[in-house]
Chains A and B, each alone.
Chain A
Amino acid sequence: MKDIKMIKFPRMVAMALVVCASLAAFPVAAVKAAGSHAVISVENAWARASKVKVAGAFMTLNNKSTSDDILLSASSDVAKRVEIHTTKTVDGVMKMIEMEEGVVVPASGSLVLKPGSYHVMLMGLKHPLKEGDTFAIRLKFKHADEVEALVTVMAAGAMEGMKHEHGSHSMQHKKHKHD
């Protein structure tokens, strides 16, 4: 009995220290990680400028955990309704399909939302999205905690978000992980 207590106590202290340290360093991340080990980060989130009632948003979701996760839903204050869609071509006809069951974010990998494929569909925009604006989209996952993506509005016909550092950075990250 005594032995066990002896071992348990330092462990608790160590854990508390770790929690405190991470709280100080990354307040939000630490709170989120406390519930589960699954962590998903968002990278290069962008949307197309829109003066009409809808817009598409795109981003890369990196799953750092060793198990698959599922992007279940999204929400945002800029739109009345937000859905996860994909685009499919069947005999030259374009169809948008709502991913009601969600989309898998592979373990130690990423899910890329991009034009012609998966996208976050913002329906019923409360105000036009202007190039250069930023807004938040909240993403819900099956395992990982909710993540807030800061989305940058690009030109109406943009095909990708801000390219520079972000893009190459993620590639390096991925390589390190696989090594």
Chain B
Amino acid sequence: MNRFFTYAVSVLVVVGLVIAAFIIANEMFGERIQGTSRTIVGAPQIGGPFTLVNEDGQQVTEEDFKGKLMLVFFGYTFCPDVCPTELNVFSEVMEALGEDAENVVPVFITVDPDRDTAEVIKEYTDAFHPSIIGLTGTPEQITHVKKQYRAYGQAVEKEKDPEFYLVDHTSFTYLMGRDGEMITVFSYGTKAEEIVANIEKLL
């Protein structure tokens, strides 16, 4: 009885160890594959096709920006602090680039299409730099482009305050390549010089 018990326990321990070894090996192996696929598939996942309305009321798609580098920022015109600050950086970037600026299109995509009509967004972006293009669209088109860029934009208590509601939004600036591929992301507060340096590497 005692002998049988010892035997049974030993067998169980061995089986357990083998299973554990399999699980660990599988996890390590699996993780590595997942990690690799994440970096390969991950980068091009930001960006991609979109259909929006430009500040002149015309429909545009990602094809219209091909061949140029794009600086993309998501915001809204009712934003008095962060958005003007970032658009000021865009303006500094365009000025610093001088003649090279013709290779770059700075784009401001609204996360608040209800209030930001083409007309409103044109007035807004032109106040910072004439080269900045404001894009709006239907709520569906905006939801789609936000998904494409993994951007976030959510109105706060819109029902309670339909005229002056605020919108929480992502504060990243995306640098997109000539084929619409994402090159890098700048966090809010990145100085114009750093963005210019990254752009110049691509010219």
Contact = CB atoms under 8 A, between A and B. Distances in A.
Interface of A: 48-56, 81, 85, 87, 89, 92-96, 115-116, 119, 121-124, 156-159
B163 interface: yes
A93 B81 CA distance: 14
The residue among B87, B120, B127 with the most chain A CB atoms within 10 A of its own CB is B127
The bracket for how many chain B residues form the interface is: 20 to 34
Nearest to A115: B85
Contact of B80 (A119, A158, A159): A119
Contacts of B144: none
Contact of A94 (B77, B120, B169): B169
B56 interface: no
B48 interface: no
B80 A121 contact: yes
30 contacts: A48-B80, A49-B127, A51-B123, A51-B124, A51-B127, A53-B77, A56-B80, A56-B81, A81-B164, A87-B81, A92-B187, A93-B171, A94-B79, A94-B82, A94-B170, A95-B168, A96-B82, A115-B81, A115-B84, A115-B85, A116-B82, A119-B80, A123-B164, A124-B163, A124-B164, A156-B84, A156-B88, A157-B84, A157-B87, A159-B85
A117 B80 CA distance: 11
A56 B84 contact: yes
Given A93-B169, A157-B88, A55 B80 contact: yes
B127 A50 contact: yes
The residue among B85, B128, B189 with the most chain A CB atoms within 10 A of its own CB is B85
A139 B166 CA distance: 22
Interface of B: 77-82, 84-85, 87-88, 91, 120, 123-124, 127-128, 152, 156, 163-164, 166, 168-172, 187-189
B184 to A, nearest CB: 15
Contacts of B85: 115-116, 157, 159
A81 B172 CA distance: 29
Contact of A52 (B123, B172, B189): B123
Contacts of B128: 156-157
Given A56-B84, A89-B171, A96 B124 contact: no
Contacts of B152: 93
B112 to A, nearest CB: 11
Contact of A54 (B80, B168, B171): B80
Contacts of B82: 87, 94, 96, 116
A92 to B, nearest CB: 6
Given A94-B170, A94-B188, A96-B79, 4 more contacts: A50-B80, A92-B171, A92-B187, A123-B164
What are the nearest 6 A-B pairs in CB distance? Answer: A157-B88, A56-B80, A156-B127, A51-B123, A94-B171, A123-B164
